[in-house]
Amino acid sequence: MVMDPRLNSDDGKIEEMLLVDPNESEEFEKFNAPPPGHSLTDEPGKWPWENPPQFTDPKEAYDFIISKAEEPINEENFVRLLLSGATVEAITNTITFGGFTGGFFSVDVAELLKTPIALHFMGLAAENNIPAQVFNTNPEQEKEDRLIPDEEVLDNMKRNRPDMFEALENAAENLLETEPQDSPEEKSMMNEESMMNMEDEEEKVADGFMSMEEEGIEQ
């Protein structure tokens, strides 16, 4: 006689799990992925990248890629991608990764191909007068983001090196004091000059508008 384990269970949570559809429960999501080492149990050579690559010479691989990229329909699509804002780096990475997973070349050849392929698409963008973005992120901005913020540096300096912080503060104050300041007379002259320029611009706009009205009346 087969016993139903739910009959002897005092844990209501177990009964709930037995009644829930695994496809609709987050409890089972962690079991939807293959276990570690699963790829080692596959049949060898099942995937294209597990077999000898089609191209071992980077030059031959590059010629093959460019011949495909320069086909009219493909080139038009690449131009559209560049025009839409896709970066040269993203296009290059997609092509080299696809070539590797497709078994066309090895991963080391894929890395060697990135620079010449990127130069090709930069040239394609220039030919079509497209201000293409080369990198996914701005290298200068990325470098700045990785730096410790100035505020944190100053806070640490104020706490750990008060003497240096005070010296830096004094130097900043001295710099502000030595900066040339406009005298009241100079500021007044600058304001008068700005007002005169504004009046001249207003007169030009009015004259232009009036001439447009006269032309309309004559017509």
Q: How many helices (H) and strands (E) does the chain have?
A: 9, 0
Domain-by-domain residue ranges, the chain? 58-127, 148-178
- Tokens in use for 31? 């079991």
99 — alpha (psi -120 to 50), left (phi > 0) or beta? alpha
**Can you state the percent helix, strand and coil of the chain, rounding each to 5?**
75, 0, 25
- Reading the chain (219 residues) residue by residue, the pLDDT tens digits are 444 554 454 555 545 545 555 555 555 566 677 788 877 787 888 888 889 999 999 999 999 999 999 999 999 999 999 999 999 999 999 999 999 999 999 999 999 999 999 999 999 999 999 998 898 877 676 677 777 888 888 888 888 888 888 888 888 887 777 755 555 555 556 556 655 655 555 555 445 444 544 444 444
Is the pTM of the predicted complex or chain greater than 0.85? no
